[in-house]
Amino acid sequence: MDKFRGLTSKYKSQIVNGILVILNILVFVYFGFATYYYVDKVCSTTENCNMGWCSGYGFLVILMILIYGGLIYFQIIKRFFGQGIAKNCLDPIVGFVKNIFHTRYARIGALGLLLAAFVTYMVFETRGDRDRLRGFVAIAGILFFGFLFSKHPSQIKWRPIMMGITLQFIMGLFCIRWEVGRSIFECIGQKVSSFLSYGFSGARFVYGDYLVNAAVLAFAGLSVIYFVSCMVSVMYYLGAMQWILMKMGWVLQNILGTTVCESTIAAANMFLGQADAPLIIRPYVKKLTHSELHAVMTSGFASASGAVMAVFIGFGANPTYIITATVMAVSGSLAVSKLFYPETEESQTRSENIQIEKSTHTSMLDAATNGSILAINIVLRVIANLISFVSIVAFFDGILSFFGNLVGFEEVSLVFLIGKVLYPVAWAMGVPVQDCEKIGQILALKTVINTIYGYQVLGQAIQDGEENPDVALHPRSIAICTFALCSFANPPSLGILIGSLGSMAPDRVSAITSVAVRALFSGICVCFITASIAGIVMPESAFLQMSQEKVISNFTNIIP
């Protein structure tokens, strides 16, 4: 046995390379059989020879191109030719562009041309439906509000703000307006729904069919968090998660001009929870400036993690809307954060000296086990916050109802009052007038209590509309509300994020708490901007088309 171990240790690299060669041969053999089956069986029996880009042979082709294209680039092109390409091609192009926009007048001129092109496009695009432009009222109002209550209004740097909003529009056009992009994200939404549905198999085994099929939140929707947390932990152990986040952070840093820590965390919040995402930069939390802390917290409030997406989808939210909103919130959170809290300090973290935290797990099994255990804390926090805050709101509703009854107002409640305040916000985002009050109340539920509760009420409203068309919400209202709800921007999350960051840097608790409330309002504003952009770029036909798709209306529909 010792001799065998010695041989395996001596020829470890050769053994690993041999296994990789065998695996690649098996992959190509399988691909060959799949190609033969597709040509011989599928094409011979159908007239159009459909590739099935989302679920058939075409999807396999896309996977092969992505995997082996990436391997060729990183293992051959970048390794052997990367420096030459950068020196002879990329650096001269970057230098040429910098020389063109070196002067202030050149930048102003380019911005003017871009703005003129955008205005021309929007005038042409909305020629049959000018009501879509109403979303600009919300965007302008939020930017003015942010400037008015900015921590350092005279120190605002407009590049990350303008570029962040522009990137949101570009992502909105690609994901929503462009038919190909919309199809891509619809496909991604279907894959995410299918992936999350596997989490219900374990829930049914542990809790039984009745509790899961009855859509009891603690036993159905929240159970998927264990499965997703387990998979994320495995990806983190393999290094895939860190690689993805660093690449996305690098892109955001170069486009928006933000620092590497805040850019990486903004990207991380698409996959991880607001309490978990900062863990990847744990050694640097104590070094972050006030503005960077604010950006980290804003991105946590402005997006929803992959684990909680299953709960949103289970209540009837269109998965395409959820994924699109999460992607758009990445750049939007950095833009709004730098508006509310501009950078006035020198950052102590640079891309050159940042090392992302590696997994401390000893094996893939250890990572999977610990990932599942970590989800216990997330689930318990969600349950505890839902119980306490729903009860608190009910308590205040009782007080308001008592005093309201004394003067003849029987329907007064906390949500009713906040819903009235958010009525004009819903209108400004592009919600049809007849639905503004209802959408305002749903947004109030999300803002006061919890996002999950907001989606639950929205899902019930969708179901009521299917049963009774007279009370049905307009597809545009449902879409805009889905975008606006997609975040953790509510009071319970405030305590969770403060506790998470405070545990990583106890000596910075005072700095964290000083920016927390401002970051919460920033996160709310990001969601409203994202929803407004969605209402602007999506034509009526797209709303109707996406609303007619089969959207999950309750938990039992996504349970295999």
Tell me if 292 sits within 8 A of 519, measured CB to CB: no
Q: Report residue 154 as tokens.
A: 């005279």
What separation in angstroms does the CA of 360 have from each of 179, 276, 333, 363, 367?
43, 15, 30, 9, 8
- pLDDT range class, residue 480, cuts 50, 70, 90: very high
Q: What is the DSSP letter of 42?
A: I
What would you measure as the largest C-alpha separation in the chain, in angstroms?
91
pTM of the model: 0.80
138 — alpha (psi -120 to 50), left (phi > 0) or beta? alpha
Tell me if 356 sits within 8 A of 300, measured CB to CB: no
Q: Which residues contact 309 (CB under 8 A, 6 or more apart)?
A: 192, 196, 319, 322, 323, 326
Highest mean pLDDT among 13-17, 47-51, 100-104: 13-17
Residue 539 has a CB neighbour count (10 Å cut-off) of 16
Tell me if 293 sits within 8 A of 512, measured CB to CB: yes
- So what's the pLDDT on residue 351? 62
Average pLDDT across the chain, whole number? 82
pLDDT digits (tens, 9 = 90+) for 287-300: 889 999 999 999 98
Query: Which residue matches tokens 């522009």?
Result: 166
Nearest-angstrom CA–CA distance, 153 and 161? 13
- So what's the pLDDT on residue 218? 79
CA dihedral for 34, 39, 45, 50, sign (positive or negative): positive
Instruction: Kindly report which listed range (193-202, 419-428, 478-487, 513-522) carries the lowest average pLDDT score.
Output: 193-202
- Scored b (16 or more CB within 10 A) or e, 144-174 reads eebeeebbeeeebeeebbbbbbbbbbebbbb
User: What is the torsion angle, in degrees rounded to the nearest 10, for the CA atoms of residue 459, residue 377, residue 374 and residue 445?
Assistant: 20
Ordered alpha helix ranges (H), 173-289: 179-197, 199-207, 209-213, 224-238, 240-256, 260-268
- So what's the pLDDT on residue 8? 66
Nearest-angstrom CA–CA distance, 121 and 110? 16
Highest mean pLDDT among 23-37, 75-89, 212-226, 466-480: 23-37
Instruction: Tell the burial category of 555 from Cβ atoms under 10 Å away from its Cβ (0-12, 13-18, 19+).
Output: buried
- pLDDT range class, residue 541, cuts 50, 70, 90: low
- So what's the pLDDT on residue 1? 58
Q: Which residues contact 43 (CB under 8 A, 6 or more apart)?
A: 49
Phi–psi pair at 522, nearest 5 degrees: -65, -45
Tell me if 231 sits within 8 A of 310, measured CB to CB: no
HEC string for 3-41: HHHHHHHHCHHHHHHHHHHHHHHHHHHHHHHHHHHHHHH
Q: Report residue 203 as tokens.
A: 């829930």
Q: Which residues contact 107 (CB under 8 A, 6 or more apart)?
A: 101
Q: CA Rg, the chain, in Å? A: 25
Please check the confidence at residue 426 and state whether its pLDDT lies above 90.
yes
- So what's the pLDDT on residue 180? 82
pLDDT digits (tens, 9 = 90+) for 125-154: 878 778 888 999 999 999 999 999 999 898
User: What is the torsion angle, in degrees rounded to the nearest 10, for the CA atoms of residue 380, residue 384, residue 420 and residue 519?
Assistant: -60
Quick one: which of 43, 503, 55 has its CA closest to 285?
Answer: 503
Nearest-angstrom CA–CA distance, 10 and 92? 46
Tell me if 543 sits within 8 A of 182, measured CB to CB: no
Nearest-angstrom CA–CA distance, 506 and 527? 30
Query: Which residue matches tokens 């279907």?
Result: 190
- Scored b (16 or more CB within 10 A) or e, 16-49 reads eeeeeeeeeeeeeeeeeeeeeebeeeeeeeeeee
Q: Please report the DSSP string for 83-131 in residue order.
A: HHHIIIIIHHHHHHHHHHT-SHHHHHHHHHHHHHHHHHHHHHHTTT-GG
Mean pLDDT across the stretch 148-162? 89
- So what's the pLDDT on residue 356? 66
Q: Where are the domains of the chain?
A: 104-357+377-382+484-558
What separation in angstroms does the CA of 296 have from each of 253, 269, 291, 341, 352?
14, 9, 9, 12, 20
Mean pLDDT across the stretch 76-92? 83
Nearest-angstrom CA–CA distance, 228 and 180? 28
pLDDT digits (tens, 9 = 90+) for 294-342: 999 999 899 887 667 767 777 777 888 888 898 899 899 999 999 999 9
Please check the confidence at residue 247 and state whether its pLDDT lies above 90.
no
- So what's the pLDDT on residue 381? 73
Tell me if 221 sits within 8 A of 555, measured CB to CB: yes
Nearest-angstrom CA–CA distance, 368 and 362? 11
